[in-house]
Chain A
Amino acid sequence: NAGVMQNPRHLVRRRGQEARLRCSPMKGHSHVYWYRQLPEEGLKFMVYLQKENIIDESGMPKERFSAEFPKEGPSILRIQQVVRGDSAAYFCASSPGTGGSTEAFFGQGTRLTVV
């Protein structure tokens, strides 16, 4: 049973470009959380999605950031017009839904560098 798969593992973007981060949940998991980890800091919640539905986006910046989890395919975290401050590690976690965060498993993360 494959774990939570995130790709790419490393992503370099120039300022102003778009970044797309993908997260494929564990088999049987229908809920996805996205977290951001700035250097030397803890993980900060961004968004919680169920297939085709955003449950909680209270941690998402108001502009340039969006997330989706379509019926088919991975969850996508999209960052438009990236700035240097977006450089961070982005982690997703998936859960089967019933236990929420108590049954969540994390992926290896995507390390975004904005140059």
Chain B
Amino acid sequence: QQQVKQSPQSLIVQKGGISIINCAYENTAFDYFPWYQQFPGKGPALLIAIRPDVSEKKEGRFTISFNKSAKQFSLHIMDSQPGDSATYFCAASANTDKLIFGTGTRLQVFP
């Protein structure tokens, strides 16, 4: 019930391509869905987040798509760049409670 399932585990994309990472959850009490970016040796940094009252949120090249009925949300990175190479984590929380993280996706963008 408390799990957040993330896929794929790793992703290789060519520069300029679209990177898509998917997450699914079970707990309908979750009301906050952030995505974090983590570079090696660093802490996770908040990238973008969404609430379940909207189906999409866009910030620059990063877009979250949210499907409440399917209990799924995804991160799209448009025009992927080598500097985007990092590990991406989805997460969820209920009522500002602790974050439940997915297992991470290692993204590599090749020139």
Which B residues touch A40, using CB under 8 A? 104
Partner of B32, one of A43, A101, A105, A108: A101
User: Is the interface on chain A under 10, 10 to 19, 20 to 34, or 35 or more residues?
Assistant: 20 to 34
Contact A102 B49 (CB under 8 A): yes
- Interface residue total, chain B, C-beta cutoff 8 A: 23
Partner of A91, one of B43, B100, B104: B43
Contact B103 A41 (CB under 8 A): yes
Partner of B89, one of A43, A48, A107: A43
Q: Verify if B7 is at the interface (C-beta below 8 Å from A).
A: no
Which A residues touch B49, using CB under 8 A? 102
Partner of A106, one of B6, B32, B43, B102: B43
Q: Given A41-B104, A42-B101, A101 and B93 touching (CB < 8 A)? A: yes
Residues in chain A within 8 A of chain B (CB atoms): 4, 33, 35, 40-45, 48, 56, 59, 91, 99-102, 104-109
Residues in chain B within 8 A of chain A (CB atoms): 6, 32, 34, 36, 41-46, 49, 89, 93, 95-104
